[in-house]
Amino acid sequence: MTVLIAGGGIGGLTLALSLHQIGVPAKVFESVAELKPLGVGINVLPHAVRELIELGLMDKLNASGVRTRELAYFSKHGKPIWSEPRGLEAGYKWPQFSIHRGTLQQLLLDTAVERLGRENILTSHHLTGWTETANGVRADFIDRATGKAAAGSYDGAILIAADGIHSAAREKLYPNEGPPIWNGRILWRGVTPAKAFLTGRTMIMAGHEILKFVCYPISKEPDAAGNHLINWVAERHMPPTYQWRREDYNRAARLEEFLPWFESWQFDWLDVPGLIRNCPHAYEYPLVDRDPVSQWTFGKVTLMGDAAHPMYPIGSNGASQAILDARVITREILAHGPTQAALLAYEAERRPATTDLVLLNRKNGPEQVMQLVEERAPDGFEVVTDVLSQQELEDIAANYKRVAGFQVEALNAKPPIVSKDARARA
Ligand SMILES: Cc1cc2nc3c(=O)[nH]c(=O)nc-3n(C[C@H](O)[C@H](O)[C@H](O)COP(=O)(O)OP(=O)(O)OC[C@H]3O[C@@H](n4cnc5c(N)ncnc54)[C@H](O)[C@@H]3O)c2cc1C
């Protein structure tokens, strides 16, 4: 019997493709009428890339993503703190990709339409609720844009809510939870055509908890003027009186709220204010997450991706963790069929793992090194080891990889979550 998936984001579409791979019928219900390539750049880490490769998506990823080669942290003065190789260069068997979120979502959508058929990827279907039936679950949808009540009710064996940080399913299960929690920081994000920097495939982070800049290239080839698309995120801790607006991935940024704070960040290897000023469209987004909850699975319904564990976009984990959820759900459906037992087994593995990550991201994840440097040497330093020992630097990086599940040797030695040839029993 069919698995119903609410939400056609990166998590929901990966789940649909994974279920198709093992021969289990699935239907995706997406709230919006047309999935547009929204958002800016994201990183997909090797453990998640590996699962996309098992889905046969390597060529498509290669064609549209940049293989991230290095991650490097700098102080607000542009001085190096820590750098580490990434992807194949770090010894993983799989690359790390920097890619536009919209490109990744479109790639998954096109493949899902191709493999599952358009009739199984329904847009203008916004989940509003469900009831359990003798054989499974009946989910109800409306067309949100027209406000017309019923877009239909559909029967399935189980319902997986992959409907993002404003999940309607989570709201039904936790009616008193309220909106996401804002931590006082605002992100401004954009993509600017500019010259390549450092290795040409480096992701950099500069600054500290109060003021930070992140950027990396998301286009493989330069344009006619020799420019690459450089994805950037500027982040500022706002005063307590700041009136923040509900997160919306499409809200236009106001340069005067952040550009002046970065005017002096002209390093000999990167012109930060130039990148901000030359960006055609920048967007604003408050840094929000939610407290981890104690249960995801209720009867034949469960949560996944940002609906289950919305986290700060620190350590490049939002999309990667949603992909891992999709693969673990699929593995458990292989073992138990599309049943509550499968959902409970998925939750038993993924809820503790992602809870740790949500909490670690609140402590700045691997970016702690930048904050420690700022606290210990706000006026600058000659060499970073005068401020932070090599051991401290190595421990912070290693601990994050362990919690997020992408230690090189451990990951290389593990079998994939779902292998290429796995098929569910008929
Ligand atoms: C428009 C947009 C832009 C983003 N941009 C970035 C970015 O630039 N950088 C970054 O790091 N992360 C970004 N994210 C978040 C990132 O994609 C997620 O953290 C991650 O991919 C987890 O994916 P998900 O599938 O759980 O949730 P999402 O990617 O948020 O997908 C959820 C999907 O569910 C749909 N939906 C919502 N409510 C319902 C409902 N009731 N019924 C049916 N469908 C519903 C939404 O329209 C959406 O397509 C963005 C998310 C969105 C929606």
Pocket of ligand 1 (CB under 6 A): 6-12, 29-32, 38-40, 42, 101, 126-127, 162-164, 168, 249, 305-307, 313, 318-319, 322
pLDDT digits (tens, 9 = 90+) for 296-348: 999 999 999 999 999 988 767 889 999 999 999 999 999 999 999 999 999 99
In which residue ranges of the chain is pLDDT below 70? 147-150, 315, 404, 425-426
CATH number of the domain enclosing 128: 3.50.50.60
* Nearest to 326, CA basis, from 2, 1, 20: 20
Could you say which of 348, 363, 378 is where a domain stops? 363
Q: Whose CA is nearest to atom 4 of ligand 1?
A: 39
Q: Supply the pLDDT for residue 418.
A: 92
Report helix angle 101-116 to 10-21, nearest 10.
Answer: 30
Q: Do 270 and 137 share a domain, yes or no?
A: no
Q: Are residues 205 and 248 in the same domain?
A: yes
**Helix and strand counts by DSSP (H, E) for the chain:** 13, 18
My answer on whether 265 and 313 are in the same domain is no
For position 408, what pLDDT does the model report? 87
Most informative mutation of 101, 171, 290 for ligand 1 (most atoms within 8 A of CB): 101
Q: Which long-range contacts (CB under 8 A, 24 or more apart) does 145-152 make?
A: 145/32, 145/33, 151/124, 151/125, 151/126, 152/125
Number of domains composing the chain: 2
Last residue of a domain, one of 330, 363, 396: 363
Environment class of 386 (CB within 10 Å of its CB; exposed 0-12, middle 13-18, buried 19+)? exposed
Among the candidates 271, 289, 307, a domain finishes at 289
Name the residue range of residue 221's domain: 182-289
426 alpha carbon – ligand 1 mean position (Å): 32
Q: What is the pLDDT of residue 174?
A: 98
What confidence score (pLDDT) does residue 115 get?
Answer: 98
Within this chain, do residues 270 and 309 fall inside the same structural domain, yes or no? no
CA distance 95 to 117: 30
Q: Which atom of ligand 1 is nearest to the CA of 283?
A: 8
Tens digit of each residue's pLDDT (9 = 90 or more) over 192-234: 999 999 999 999 999 998 999 999 999 988 999 999 999 999 9
* Angle (CA) 313 201 62, round 5°: 85
CATH number at residue 217: 3.30.9.30
- Tell me the per-residue pLDDT of 45-65, one tens digit each, with 9 for 90 and over: 999 999 999 999 999 999 999
How far apart (Å, rounded) are the C-alpha atoms in residues 338 and 156? 9
Task: Specify the pLDDT at position 149.
Answer: 62
